[in-house]
Structure 1
Amino acid sequence: MSILYKIINWVIFLGYWIFITFIIIKILNKRRTIPYSLSWILIIYFLPLFGIITWVFFGELYSDKKKDKIASIILPQTTNWLKSLKINKSFFNIKNSDVASSVFKLCKNRQSLSGIKCNKLELLTSTKKIIKIIIQDINLAKYNIEMVFYIWKPGGIVDEVAMALIKSSKRGILCRIILDSAGSIEFFKSPWVKIMRNSGIQIVEAMKVNLFRIFLRRIDLRQHRKVILIDNYIAYTGSMNLIDPLFFKQSLGIGQWVDIMARMEGPIAATIGIVYSFDWEIETGKRILPIFNTNYTKNNFKNKNIIQVIASGLGFPENMIHQVLLTIFYSAKKRLIITTPYLVPSDDLLHAICTASHRGVKVTIIIPKNNDSLLVHWASKAFFTELLESGVKIYQFKKGLLHTKSILVDNQLSVIGTVNLDMRSIWLNFEITLIIDDKLFSKNLYCIQKEYINNSILINKKLWNMRSIWKKIIEKIFYFFSPLL
């Protein structure tokens, strides 16, 4: 009996270390940064049971084989569609500004598409005003309305959007909505799902969360885009979820969420429509490539807005967002302003930001003073010392949770969308962001960022260095969990 007991112990012991070795090999094969790999290895080594379980659910980017197959099929079809778009040479720009030249070349080479023009481009800030304009556009829709959101939380002014969609659907407008399963969990538990579907609206629950699917992909792989498309002509994207800030997460005591959205008209909607068609086919298996709107050429592009659309997820170039951010940071010559709710950059991005400051670029980062994520709240502080030592100014916004994701470079190049400066947005989630080469738009973005700064507290370098030892220890501990953020 004792011999059998020993054999069982040895089998368990060897099995455990074989499994640990297998995990470590998988981590190293991902070819991520050394700190990223070391963080996972340390978590597994010091907290074996917790580390293994966490890695199984969060460490590997599992994707349904069916979805991978669909993505491989979509790409050739999309390539053919893009060829038909490229025939209209007036839609595309020939030349970019100096600061935008490198990143636009990168995007053209990796995405096979030059920066595209739009007939109209607006930057919207007030959630109440944004939703009012969205409802107006929904009411005026003639053909189709398509949406994808991470969070749709029923209640308040958001219900007015639902009612507008129901009315449009009943008058014959084709309405399609994609909502993330985890982010919109309250919506899918509400009566609105049945009411809207009964009115003819097609609603898809993306990245469904259940026990079976955790063995197919990471459970924290999320559909994080925020997009609205109307008549293949009007497009919205930015940081705003479909929530009413007066009610959303108010129990946390962090104040109202502060967001921005861009509203665009023209052929830019077609390129954003390609992203939506990918998401729709991956979730449903049905193809809905956007149709050209005859209004694309009516304005003759009097505005000089030049935009690149960057998306991540199945079917899109790998690591594109990371490459774009690095290129932008290294292109800055005079000024770099970053707003992000979650500051957990990769080592490469951190180095690029610090290097920009060392080159004499005036670098400013604006983050919320209070965060809805305890992990991010502490982990982000682990980067403060190096940033401050490099001369970067860090402002903490005190009037709510600053949820805006934006970058301004040299008062000419703007980046806005759904991408946070953290590992989750850079490596994991389905994201979308716009790169806009336009001085007037950048001026408007600067005014908004300046307002954020006026409502923020500047971190004092000397006072920061005098913080207590226990805070420094907590920062380092949470830093090791950055791969999960």
Structure 2
Amino acid sequence: MDKVYHFFTLAMIGLYWLLVAGVTFRVVLKRRAVSVSLAWLMVIYIIPIVGVVCYFLFGELNLGRKRAERAKMMFNPFGEWFYLLNNCNAHKRDGLGTHISKIDRLCNNRMGIPALVGNELQLHTTPQESLLSVINDIKQAKHSIRMVFYIWHPGGLADSVAAALIQARKRDVQVKVLLDSAGSVTFFRSHWAKMMRDAGIELVEGLEVSPWRLFLRRLDLRQHRKIVVIDDEVAYTGSMNMVDPAYFKQNSGVGQWIDIMVRVEGPTVNVLSAIHGWDWEVETGDRQLPALPECDINIPDDSKPIQVVPSGPGMPDQLIGQVLKLAMHQAEQSVRITTPYFVPSADLLDTIKTTAQRGVKVDLIIPKHNDSLMVQWASRAFYSDLLSCGVNIYEFDGGLLHTKSVVIDNLFCLVGTVNMDMRSLWLNFEVTLAVEDPSFTYQMYQLQTEYIEQSELLSHNQWEKRSLYHRFFERVFYLFNPLL
């Protein structure tokens, strides 16, 4: 009996190390950042068995066979639709400004999406303002309403949005709502989900979380876009989930979430509608490309362009990350960044440091208190390098600053759903607007100034005096930063 037990033990150990060797070989063969590969190897070897399981669950960008096949088949039809926008007089390549012209070429070459002029923008600087505006536009809807959100949490004005959608459906308006399964789990368990479906609203649970799919699709791959499109005439996007902050995560100890949304009218609305159509088809297989925007229109000479920049599985890799780095490399005077989660890749970190070392004023505004303790510690691991390069770091103390924005030289800005972390830049479905409109950019800059007024500027000398306890946890979580 002892010999059988001994043989069984040796066989299990041998099988385990054979599995570890196989996973190691797979990690090494994957073309990705060296820091990511080393972090995974560390997890696999330091945490026996669990590390291997974690790699199968989270280690590779796996959309799932059915969705991956759909995304592959969709790329050409959507690409052809996007490319037709180049023939629209809303695309004025010769009239593009300095900052956006290179971004236009990058997005056009990689995905066929051009920058378009002829848009009207409104910046909503509070969730209450955003929600009330969305409700008002829903009430005016005549034909269609399309939404995609990461989180929909019942309560407050979010319930008013749901009620407005139900009323719109009673007016025979087509309503399609796509919500991430993990982010909106509370909503799907609420009575609102049943009420909306009973009213005839097409409510889809995106990237469904299920124990039966544990090893078939990466579980932390999430639908992180926030888009509202009404009658293909009005659209919204930005950092805000469909939540009323007064009713959301009140016990997290970080204060209310601070968010923005951008209301858009003009040709860019149709592009955002197409992005929603992409997400809808990936999840359901149902193709509904919007009509092309009206091209026979008079475009004012001073009408500034917007470039829609999407990313996610099935779309060109690292497109938003490339746009971020390209924008910062073009900065001549100043760069201001707001992000709730700051765990940058090595190349993005180098871009920020190099920008500051060129003499460009770089301000980084991040929340002092974060709902993710691991991210908070990992973020602080970058402070010393950034401060030594001259980056100004402000810790916002007026709530969880969830706004994702970058303002370049007070002339150009990026706003959208993207955090400055590996998850947003490499993994999730995201969308960003690149806007070259001095008036809108000035509003965004002034809002960032208001954030700074509620923040504490870190001193490099004071930061270097932090305790050994803090330094230890910063380094521990820094080692895992490619996986956060």
When normalised by structure 2's length, the TM-score is: 0.97
Residue aligning to 1:183:
183
**Contact residue 85 and residue 114 of structure 2 kept, 8 A:** no
- Residues 365-376 of structure 1: pairs in structure 2 closer than 5 A: 365-376=364-375
Residue aligning to 1:357:
356
Residue aligning to 2:339:
340
CA distance in 2, matches of 1:136, 1:103: 34
Question: Higher mean Cα deviation, 475-484 or 272-281?
Answer: 475-484
CA distance in 1, matches of 2:244, 2:216: 34
Question: Higher mean Cα deviation, 341-350 or 298-307?
Answer: 298-307
Question: Higher mean Cα deviation, 428-437 or 58-67?
Answer: 58-67
**Contact residue 180 and residue 223 of structure 2 kept, 8 A:** yes
Q: CA deviation at 1:119?
A: 2.8
1:275 aligns with 2:294: no
- Residues 11-50 of structure 1: pairs in structure 2 closer than 5 A: 11-50=11-50
Q: Call closer, same or farther: CA 1:101–1:85 in 2, change over 3 Å.
A: closer
Q: CA deviation at 1:8?
A: 2.4
**Contact residue 89 and residue 297 of structure 2 kept, 8 A:** no
Where 2:211 maps in the other structure, the secondary structure is coil
- Residues 361-402 of structure 1: per-residue CA shift (max 9 Å, x gap): 100100000000011011101000100011100000000000
Q: Call closer, same or farther: CA 1:315–1:274 in 2, change over 3 Å.
A: farther
Residue aligning to 1:109:
109
- Residues 276-425 of structure 1: pairs in structure 2 closer than 5 A: 276-292=276-292, 300-301=299-300, 304-425=303-424
1:99 aligns with 2:86: no
Q: CA deviation at 1:174?
A: 0.5
RMSD (Å), alpha carbons = 1.6
CA distance in 2, matches of 1:383, 1:235: 36
Residue aligning to 2:444:
445
Residue aligning to 1:160:
160
Q: Call closer, same or farther: CA 1:426–1:251 in 2, change over 3 Å.
A: same
**Contact residue 39 and residue 482 of structure 2 kept, 8 A:** yes
Where 2:247 maps in the other structure, the secondary structure is coil
Q: CA deviation at 1:11?
A: 2.2
CA distance in 1, matches of 2:79, 2:296: 22
CA distance in 2, matches of 1:28, 1:132: 50
Residue aligning to 2:463:
464
**Contact residue 313 and residue 428 of structure 2 kept, 8 A:** no
CA distance in 2, matches of 1:212, 1:77: 32
Number of aligned residue pairs: 484
CA distance in 1, matches of 2:35, 2:421: 14
Q: CA deviation at 1:117?
A: 1.6
Question: Higher mean Cα deviation, 81-90 or 128-137?
Answer: 81-90
Where 1:476 maps in the other structure, the secondary structure is helix
- Residues 124-143 of structure 1: pairs in structure 2 closer than 5 A: 124-143=124-143
Residue aligning to 1:256:
256
Where 2:63 maps in the other structure, the secondary structure is coil
- Residue type at the aligned position of 1:205: E
Question: Higher mean Cα deviation, 427-436 or 312-321?
Answer: 312-321
- Residues 453-480 of structure 1: per-residue CA shift (max 9 Å, x gap): 0110001111110001111011111112
Where 2:172 maps in the other structure, the secondary structure is coil
- Residue type at the aligned position of 2:24: I
Q: CA deviation at 1:81?
A: 2.4
CA distance in 2, matches of 1:130, 1:22: 50
**Contact residue 143 and residue 231 of structure 2 kept, 8 A:** yes
Residue aligning to 2:58:
58
Q: CA deviation at 1:253?
A: 1.6
CA distance in 1, matches of 2:3, 2:95: 78
- Residues 216-240 of structure 1: per-residue CA shift (max 9 Å, x gap): 1111110000000011121110000
**Contact residue 103 and residue 323 of structure 2 kept, 8 A:** yes
Q: CA deviation at 1:6?
A: 3.6
Q: CA deviation at 1:484?
A: 2.6
Q: CA deviation at 1:330?
A: 1.5
Question: Higher mean Cα deviation, 10-19 or 330-339?
Answer: 10-19
CA distance in 2, matches of 1:83, 1:111: 8
**Contact residue 143 and residue 173 of structure 1 kept, 8 A:** yes
Q: CA deviation at 1:17?
A: 1.5
- Residue type at the aligned position of 2:321: H
Where 1:73 maps in the other structure, the secondary structure is helix
- Residues 403-429 of structure 1: per-residue CA shift (max 9 Å, x gap): 000001111110000000001101111
1:243 aligns with 2:243: yes
CA distance in 1, matches of 2:252, 2:227: 27
Question: Higher mean Cα deviation, 35-44 or 181-190?
Answer: 35-44
CA distance in 1, matches of 2:454, 2:87: 47
Where 1:311 maps in the other structure, the secondary structure is strand
CA distance in 2, matches of 1:460, 1:170: 58
CA distance in 2, matches of 1:472, 1:82: 48
**Contact residue 313 and residue 427 of structure 2 kept, 8 A:** no
CA distance in 1, matches of 2:230, 2:301: 22
**Contact residue 91 and residue 267 of structure 1 kept, 8 A:** no
- Residue type at the aligned position of 2:360: V
1:82 aligns with 2:82: yes
When normalised by structure 1's length, the TM-score is: 0.96
Task: Identify unmatched segments of 5+ residues in structure 1.
Answer: none
CA distance in 2, matches of 1:182, 1:82: 30
CA distance in 2, matches of 1:412, 1:26: 45
Where 2:251 maps in the other structure, the secondary structure is helix
Question: Higher mean Cα deviation, 313-322 or 328-337?
Answer: 313-322
**Contact residue 70 and residue 281 of structure 2 kept, 8 A:** yes
**Contact residue 224 and residue 417 of structure 2 kept, 8 A:** yes
1:432 aligns with 2:457: no
**Contact residue 417 and residue 432 of structure 1 kept, 8 A:** yes
CA distance in 2, matches of 1:411, 1:11: 65
Q: CA deviation at 1:297?
A: 5.5
Where 1:90 maps in the other structure, the secondary structure is coil
Where 1:158 maps in the other structure, the secondary structure is helix
**Contact residue 113 and residue 308 of structure 2 kept, 8 A:** no
CA distance in 1, matches of 2:241, 2:481: 24
